[in-house]
């Protein structure tokens, strides 16, 4: 049977000495009160809170309507901070959905309405190994053939695209980082996916004949992003 822990040797000696004094009881009480008043590590009310809302939301206002997105900061922290950095800078305002393929995805966030590519920050690391799948109405980062080349461009999956998911930590298997999902405005995503497309600007195909413009992307709530960082395309290169 386990026994109760005994006082440490120095404290036991001090208690015995105190009990030999006329005011021994009072001294022991004072010692015990002093010990009880010591702070307990790890139980402070001032413990730091988690960094930011774990599921921040943004509204993407387009020329065909609004899309509300919920982002997954817990599963894709670097990608979410990168995206929110561009949101807070107003980077996406006035950009195009420049690549639209019905039954696949709609891609935007990199080109102005005159097809000028906007300058971006450094790429963000690929977080496609986070367990999130490229299912219908999820938002993911577009990129080039380099797995870690994403900067600002994103795409919203029009259907389930499991072939874009992470399978291995190599150039063929890294996949495309999912970092959120559409929670309102699925009909807008469908409307974008269904627009007639063709050649325009530097692209030979898949560009909406009538421009679909991202008018603004704004946060719902007040927190501000703190990190920077994401770019280019789910299957085709739009450099």
The CATH number that applies at residue 214 is 2.40.100.10
239 is a domain residue: no
191: nearest Cα among 60, 115, 100: 100
**pLDDT by position in tens, the chain (length 239):** 333 444 444 444 444 544 454 444 443 333 333 333 333 223 223 333 346 789 999 999 999 999 999 999 999 999 999 999 999 999 999 999 999 999 999 999 999 999 999 999 999 999 999 999 999 999 999 999 999 999 999 999 999 999 999 999 999 999 999 999 999 999 999 999 999 999 999 999 999 999 999 999 999 986 664 433 334 445 444 54
Whether residue 232 contacts residue 153, with contact meaning beta carbons closer than 8 Å, is answered with yes
User: Do 86 and 14 share a structural domain?
Assistant: no
Q: Is 154 helix (H, G, I), strand (E, B) or coil?
A: strand
Question: What is the rounded CA–CA span in Å between residue 175 and residue 158?
Answer: 17
Q: Is residue 236 domain-resident?
A: no
> What are all long-range contacts of 112-116, with beta carbons under 8 Å and residues at least 24 apart?
113/211, 113/213, 114/201, 115/200, 115/201, 115/202
Give yes or no: residues 113 and 191 share one domain: yes
Q: Does 1 map to a domain?
A: no
Same domain, 84 and 129: yes
Domain extent, residue 42, equals: 9-47
4 domain residue, yes or no: no
Please state the φ and ψ torsions of residue 191, each to the nearest 5 degrees: -65, -40
Contact criterion met (CB below 8 Å) for 122 and 228: yes
Q: How many domains does the chain fold into?
A: 2
Q: Give the span between the Cα atoms of 108 and 234, in whole angstroms.
A: 11
For the whole model, what pTM was predicted? 0.75
SS3 content of the chain, % helix, strand, coil (to 5): 20, 25, 50
Looking at the fold, whether 99 and 172 belong to one and the same domain comes out as yes
Considering only CA atoms, which of 201, 199, 147, 203 is closest in space to residue 177? 147
Q: Do 66 and 58 touch, CB atoms closer than 8 A?
A: no
């Amino acid at each position: 049977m386990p026994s109760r822990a005994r006082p440490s040797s120095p404290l036991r000696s001090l208690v015995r000495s105190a009990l030999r004094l006329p005011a021994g009881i009072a001294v022991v009480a004072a010692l015990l009160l002093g010990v009880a008043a010591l702070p307990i590590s790890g139980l402070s009310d001032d413990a730091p809170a988690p960094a930011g809302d774990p599921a921040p939301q943004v509204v993407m206002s387009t020329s065909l309507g609004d899309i509300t997105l919920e982002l997954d900061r817990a599963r894709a922290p670097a990608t979410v901070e990168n995206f929110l950095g561009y949101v807070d800078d107003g980077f996406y305002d006035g950009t195009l959905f420049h690549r639209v393929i019905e039954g696949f995805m709609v891609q935007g966030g990199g080109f102005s309405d005159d097809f000028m590519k906007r300058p971006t920050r450094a790429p963000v690391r690929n977080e496609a190994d986070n367990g999130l799948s490229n299912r219908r109405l999820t938002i993911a980062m577009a990129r080039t053939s380099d797995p870690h080349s994403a900067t600002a461009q994103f795409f919203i999956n029009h259907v389930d695209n499991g072939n874009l998911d992470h399978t291995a930590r190599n150039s063929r298997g890294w996949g495309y980082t999912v970092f959120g999902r559409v929670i309102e405005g699925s009909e807008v995503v469908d409307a974008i996916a269904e627009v007639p497309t063709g050649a325009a600007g530097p692209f030979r195909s898949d560009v909406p004949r009538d421009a679909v413009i991202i008018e603004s992307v704004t946060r719902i709530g007040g927190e501000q992003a703190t990190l920077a960082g994401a770019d280019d395309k789910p299957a085709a290169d739009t450099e």
